[in-house]
Chain A
Amino acid sequence: MNWPLDTNKNLGFGTQSVHAGEARQKPNDAITDSICCASTFTFESTESILKYLRENQDREEYGRYGNPNEKVVERKLAALEGAEDAIVYSSGMAAVVGLLMCKLSAGDEIVFFDQCYHRSREFCVKHLSRFGVVTHQVKTGDMEAMQNAINSKTKMIVSESPTNPHLSVIDLEAFVALGKRNQVETLIDSTLATPYNLKPIDWGVDYVWHSATKYMGGHNDLLAGVICGSKEKLEPVRKLRGILGSINSPHNMYLLERGLKTFALRMERHNHNGQKIAEFLENHPRIERVYYPGLASHPSHAIAKKTMKGYGGLITFLVKDADWQATAAIIDRCKIPRIGPSLGGVESLIEQPLVMSYFDYPPEQRAGFGIHDNMIRMAVGIEDTDDLIEDLRQALEAT
Chain B
Amino acid sequence: MKFRTRAIHVGSKPDYTGAVVPPIYLSTTFVQPGPGDWGAFDYSRSGSPTRSRLQEAIADLEGAAGSLAFSSGMAATHCAMGLLPAGSHVVAGCDMYGGTYRLLHKICNRNNIEVTLVHADQANHIVDAIKPQTKMVWVESIGNPLMSVPDLQQIASITQKAGVLLAVDSTFVPPCILRPLELGADIVMHSATKYFGGHSDCLAGVLSAKTPELLQELYFIQNATGSVIGSLEAFLLHRGIKTMELRVREQSHSALRIARWLESHRSVKKVLYPGLESHPDHQRARRLMGDQFGGMVSFEVAGTIDTAKTVCKATKLFGLAVSCGAVESLIEQPATMSHASYDAQARAKAGIHDTLIRISVGLEDPEDLIADLDQALALGGGA
Which A positions have Cβ atoms within 8 angstroms of B?
1, 3, 11-15, 17-19, 24, 31-32, 219-221, 258, 261-262, 264-266, 269, 336, 338, 340, 345-347, 349, 381-384, 386-388
- Given known pairs A31-B319, A347-B9, the reply for A261 and B368 (CB within 8 Å) is no
User: Which of B13-21, B80-88, B134-142, B164-172 forms contacts with chain A?
Assistant: B13-21
Beta-carbon contact of B365 and A265 below 8 Å = no
A340 nearest in chain B by CB position: B20
Q: A32-B200, A346-B242 are in contact. Are A12 and B367 (CB under 8 A)?
A: yes
Contact A383 B8 (CB under 8 A): yes
Annotate B189-222 by CB proximity to A: 1 below 8 A, 0 otherwise: 0000000000111000000000000000000000
Q: Within the complex, which residue of A19, A24, A32, A384 is in contact with B3, where a contact is CB–CB below 8 Å? A: A384
- Which of B39-47, B95-103, B243-251, B374-382 sits within the interface? B243-251
* Secondary structure of the B contact surface, majority rule: loop
Contacts of A346 in B (CB 8 A): 8, 242-243
Evaluate contact between A19 and B328: CB separation under 8 angstroms.
yes
A3, A269, A349, most chain B CB atoms within 10 A: A269
Report yes or no: B365 in contact with A262, Cβ–Cβ below 8 A. no
Give the residue of A15, A264, A338 whose beta carbon is less than 8 angstroms from that of B317: A15
Contact A340 B321 (CB under 8 A): no
The one of A17, A32, A221 that contacts B363, using a Cβ cutoff of 8 Å: A17
B314-357 vs A: 1/0 string, CB under 8 Å? Answer: 00110101010011101000000000000000000000000000
> Are B365 and A12 in touch, CB under 8 angstroms?
yes
CB distance from A194 to the nearest CB of B (A): 16
* Contact between A265 and B4, CB atoms less than 8 A apart: no
Q: For residue A348, give the distance in angstroms from its CB to the closest CB of chain B.
A: 8
Q: Is the CB of B199 within 8 A of A336?
A: no
Q: Is B363's CB under 8 angstroms from A264's CB?
A: yes
Contact B316 A3 (CB under 8 A): yes
19 more CB-based (< 8 A) A-B contacts, given A32-B200, A388-B5: A14-B250, A14-B365, A18-B364, A31-B321, A258-B236, A262-B243, A338-B14, A338-B20, A345-B20, A347-B20, A347-B242, A382-B4, A382-B242, A382-B243, A383-B5, A383-B8, A384-B1, A384-B3, A387-B5
Is B8's CB under 8 angstroms from A262's CB?
Answer: no
Given A31-B200, A262-B327, A387-B5, do A15 and B364 touch, yes or no (CB 8 Å)? yes
The winner among A15, A345, A388 for most chain B CB atoms within 10 A is A15
- CB pair A381 B20 closer than 8 Å: no
Bound form: Cα–Cα A352–B239 in Å: 27
Q: Which residues of A contact B3 (CB under 8 A)?
A: 384
> What are 28 A-to-B residue pairs whose CB atoms are below 8 Å?
A11-B365, A11-B368, A12-B367, A14-B364, A15-B365, A18-B327, A18-B362, A18-B364, A31-B323, A32-B200, A219-B239, A220-B20, A220-B21, A258-B236, A262-B246, A266-B243, A269-B246, A346-B243, A347-B8, A347-B9, A347-B20, A347-B242, A382-B242, A383-B4, A383-B9, A384-B1, A384-B4, A387-B1
Q: Which DSSP category, helix, strand, loop or mixed, fits chain A's interface?
A: loop
Given A3-B316, A18-B327, A384-B1, A265 and B243 contact (CB-CB distance below 8 Å): yes
CB-nearest residue of chain B to A348: B8
Chain A residue numbers with a CB within 8 Å of B363 are 14, 17-18, 261-262, 264-265
When the two chains form their complex, are residues B9 and A336 in contact, meaning their CB atoms are under 8 A apart?
A: yes
Query: Does A221 lie within 8 Å of B239, measured CB to CB?
Result: yes
**Which residue in chain B gives the minimum CB-CB distance to A15?**
B364
| Chain B residues whose CB sits within 8 angstroms of the CB of A24 once the complex forms | 316
Contacts of B365 in A (CB 8 A): 11-15
Chain B residues within an 8 Å CB radius of A265: 243, 246-247, 250, 363
Residue of B nearest to A22 (CB): B328
Choose one: B14, B18, B199; the contact of A258 (CB below 8 Å): B199
Whether a CB of chain A sits under 8 angstroms from the CB of B2 is yes
Q: Which residue on B lies nearest to A337, using beta carbons?
A: B9
Closest to B235 in A: A221
Complex Cα spacing A387 to B245, Å: 15
- Min CB distance, A26 to chain B, in Å? 10
CB-CB under 8 A from B239, the residues of chain A are 219, 221, 258
Q: In whole Å, how far is B188's beta carbon from the nearest beta carbon of chain A? A: 23
Residue of A nearest to B327 (CB): A261
Say whether B243 contacts A386, CB under 8 Å.
Answer: no
Minimum distance in angstroms from B310 CB to a CB of chain A: 15
Nearest neighbor of A12 in chain B, beta-carbon distance: B365
Contact residues in A for B327 (Cβ distance below 8 Å) = 18, 261-262
* B364 contact from A12, A219, A266, A345, Cβ within 8 A: A12
Q: Determine the chain B residues whose CB is within 8 A of the CB of A31 once the complex forms.
A: 200, 319, 321, 323, 326, 328, 330
Asked if A219 contacts B21 (CB within 8 A), the reply is: yes
Q: Is the pair A384, B21 in contact by a Cβ cutoff of 8 Å?
A: no
Chain B CB within 10 Å, residue with most, of A13, A18, A338 = A18
Q: Are A19 and B8 in contact (CB under 8 A)?
A: no
- Tell me which residues across on chain B come within 8 A of A383, comparing CB atoms: 2, 4-5, 8-9
B192 to chain A, nearest CB (A): 16
Q: B237 → chain A, closest Cβ, in Å? A: 12
In the complex, the answer to whether B364 meets A349 with C-beta atoms within 8 Å is no
A386 to B364, CA, bound (A): 27
Q: Inside 8 A of A258's CB, which chain B residues have their CB?
A: 199, 201, 236, 239
Q: Which residues of B contact A269 (CB under 8 A)?
A: 246
Residues on B with C-beta less than 8 A from A19 are 317, 328, 364
Question: Would you give the shortest CB distance from B80 to chain A, in whole angstroms?
Answer: 28
Query: What 9 pairs between A and B have smallest CB-CB spacing?
Result: A12-B365, A384-B2, A15-B364, A383-B5, A261-B327, A387-B5, A221-B21, A15-B368, A220-B20
A19-B317, A219-B239, A258-B199 known; A12+B368 contact, CB < 8 A? yes
> What is the distance, in angstroms, from B52's C-beta to the closest C-beta of chain A?
18
The minimal Cβ–Cβ distance linking B233 to chain A, given in whole angstroms, is 13
What's the Cα separation between A13 and B250 when bound, in Å? 14
A340, B1: Cβ atoms closer than 8 Å: no
Known: A11-B365, A219-B21, A383-B5. A261 touches B246 (CB 8 A): no
Q: When chains A and B are docked, how far (Å) is the Cα of A219 from the Cα of B240? A: 10
* Alpha-carbon separation in the docked complex, A3 to B328 (Å): 15
In the bound complex, residues from chain A placing their C-beta under 8 Å from that of B20 are: 220, 338, 340, 345, 347, 349
Contact check, A32 vs B4: say whether CB atoms are below 8 A apart: no
A339 CB, min distance to chain B CBs, angstroms: 9
What distance in Å separates the Cβ of B156 from its nearest Cβ neighbour in chain A? 28
Which chain A residues border B9 with CB–CB below 8 Å?
336, 347, 383
User: B201's closest neighbor in chain A, by CB?
Assistant: A32
CB-contacts of B246-285 with A (<8 A): 246-247, 250
Whole-angstrom distance from the CB of A265 to the nearest CB of chain B? 5
